[in-house]
Amino acid sequence: MSIYIIMSLNTVNVIAIDEEKLKFRVSVSFDANLIAQGQGTYKFLLPAPTNIANSDHYNQCTIKCNGFAAYCGAVVGDPVWTSSNILHKSAALEITLDIPSSQTSRTTNVLAATNLVGNTDLGGYKEMIFLDCISIGGGNGVDYALANAAGGGGIAACWRGKSDTQPILCGNPFGKSLTIRNVDPIIDAPLWLQAMGAANGADLGLYIYQFDIVMVPNN
């Protein structure tokens, strides 16, 4: 006769503090209408939050963009993506940082002269973000339906996305002045939000980014 004993085991997740200290979450936002920069290119200083982020023992890290959102303020009822002052649709954008990396590549094929070969850009942090357009309301209590009824549905539009890929190995970004760019992945040009009715192509976007960074020991 066989006797089967079923035991219920309690599992415990063990968190190693030293490993957790290598993880950082960085959020950065820009209101392009209020700063002296824009049109898809923005600068900021990324200070080192702890000694680990500023240590010579960690010259590299992995980086992943875990969130991106772009929209215009309530005064803009007709937001639209533009690149080189040409209005167009955008289903995706590439986020780049001027951080060294030998792990990335992007190839565009838009010219007859490079057909079957493409134009390839190697290196640097690159992250492709595939965009969804959602309603976030129009401000002042105006929801998407009311905004549409008033003929200004664009007020409520917000484009957002996140990376579904693995983090990429890059140089240590902490303690440096960085440039972040929204890039049109088709024509390889800066991408930003403007008012469709404006002729000057002014960047009126509000942009929010979130990155997860994990330091990697030199050895």
Q: Count other C-beta atoms under 10 Å from residue 203's C-beta.
A: 23
Residue 51 maps to a domain: yes
Positive or negative torsion for Cα 196, 197, 200, 206: negative
pLDDT at 218 over 70: yes
Q: Mean pLDDT lowest for which of 19-23, 128-132, 193-197?
A: 193-197
Residue 131 lies in a domain: yes
Residue 9 has pLDDT above 70, yes or no: no
State how far the Cα of 164 lies from the Cα of 126, in Å rounded to an integer: 13
Q: What are phi and psi of 53, to 5 degrees?
A: -70, -15
Query: pTM for the whole thing?
Result: 0.85
For 20, 33, 167, the CA distances from 209, given in Å and listed in that order, are 22, 17, 15
Assess if residue 202 is contained within a domain: yes
Distances (CA, A) of 64 to 25, 164, 209: 10, 9, 11
**pLDDT value for 114:** 73
Strand partners, 76: none
**Number of domains the chain contains:** 1
Is 58 part of any domain?
A: yes
- Please list the residues that pair with 68 across neighbouring strands: 161, 209
Domain that holds residue 156: 21-106+126-216
**Percent helix, strand, coil in the chain (nearest 5)?**
10, 45, 45
In a domain, 166, yes or no: yes
179-208 residue pLDDT tens = 999 999 988 899 999 998 876 789 999 999
Q: Is residue 111 part of a domain?
A: no
Query: Could you give the CA distance from residue 181 to residue 96 in angstroms, rounded to a whole number?
Result: 5
**Residue 62 in domain:** yes
